[in-house]
Structure 1
Amino acid sequence: MSQPNVTMKVRPVNGKSCFIDIQGEVTAWAENALMDAYNQATSAGAKEIILNFAQLDFMNSSGIGLLVTLLIRVKRQNQRLLACHLGEHYQQIFELTRLNEVIDIYKTEADVLRSLPIAG
C-alpha cells in the first residue's frame, strides 16, 4: 500500500478563515490529510476554507474527486471554498470540470485576503 506524498498545514488568518497549505501530491492517498486539515480548520471556526496550491507537485483525477468531496462538506457547513496559486494546467482542469464555477480562484494569497470579509 502506498503512502501519501503530501502534507497539509492549516493557518488561521482572521478568525473566520483558514488557509490549507498543500505541499506535494493530491491523489487518493491524500484523503485523510485533506479531511483532517479541513476538520482542523472547521474546529477553528473557519467560514472560508482557502486551498493554497503554491507547493502542489501533482494532482490526478482522484485528487479532483477529493476536492469535490470537500466541496460537498463545505457547502453542508455553509462555508466557502476558495483557492489560490493554482498553476495554469490545473486552472484549465478546473475550467473543464467546472470547479471554477463553485470554487473562487485567486492568483495570490494577497488577492484572497483582500476578498475576505473583515472579521468582526
Structure 2
Amino acid sequence: MAVSAATMTVASLGPGAARIVIAGDVTAACEQALMSAHEKASDTGAKLIVLDFSEMEYMNSGGIGMLVTLLVRGQRRQQRLAAIGLTDHYRQIFELTRLDEAITLHDTAESALAAR
C-alpha cells in the first residue's frame, strides 16, 4: 500500500484562533510537518487550534502518539485543541483512547469557536 505524505495547511479563524487542515496519512512520519504547522499557528497568537481532519485519509497509532505530543506542546502554551472533520471511525478511536477528553470534538470550526 502506498503511503500518501500528509500535508498541513494553516489558516486563521480570526483573532486568537487558527485551523490546521491535515490531509493525507497521519503517521509518525509527518510529525515534523505537524509541529511546524503548530509553530506557525502559534506564531499568530492562537490560543485555540482547530485540527481539521476532513481531508485525512488514514491515521495509525504513530499518528495518535504524535497528537499526544502536540497536545503537550499546546498545553505548555496555554492553548486549547479542538478537532473537526473526523469520520465516525476516528471519532470512536478518539473516544477509546480518551483523546476526546483533551481535544474537544466538534462538527464544524464555527462550533469549535463558539465553545471557547
In the alignment, the residues of structure 1 paired with residue 86 and residue 4 of structure 2 have an alpha-carbon distance, to the nearest angstrom, of: 21
Q: For each residue in 1:21-74, what CA deviation from the matched residue of structure 2 results, as whole angstroms up to 9, or x when unmatched?
A: 011010011101100000000011100011000101000000000000000000
- Equivalent pairs counted in the alignment come to 115
Q: Secondary structure at the match of 2:94?
A: helix
Equivalent position of 2:79 in the other structure? 79
Partner SS for 2:46: coil
Tell me, in whole angstroms, the C-alpha distance in 1 between the residues paired with 2:108 and 2:15. Answer: 20
Question: How far apart are the structure 1 equivalents of 2:84 and 2:41?
Answer: 17
State the identity %.
46
Partner Cα distance (1:77, 1:53) in 2: 22
- Residue 40 in 1 paired to residue 40 in 2? yes
> How much has 1:16 moved relative to structure 2?
0.3
Instruction: Find the residue that maps to 2:31 and give its secondary structure.
Output: helix
Structure-2-length-normalised TM-score: 0.93
Q: Which residue of 2 aligns with 1:92?
A: 92
Q: Which runs of 5+ in 2 are unaligned?
A: none
Contact 1:85–1:109 at 8 Å: present in 2 too?
no
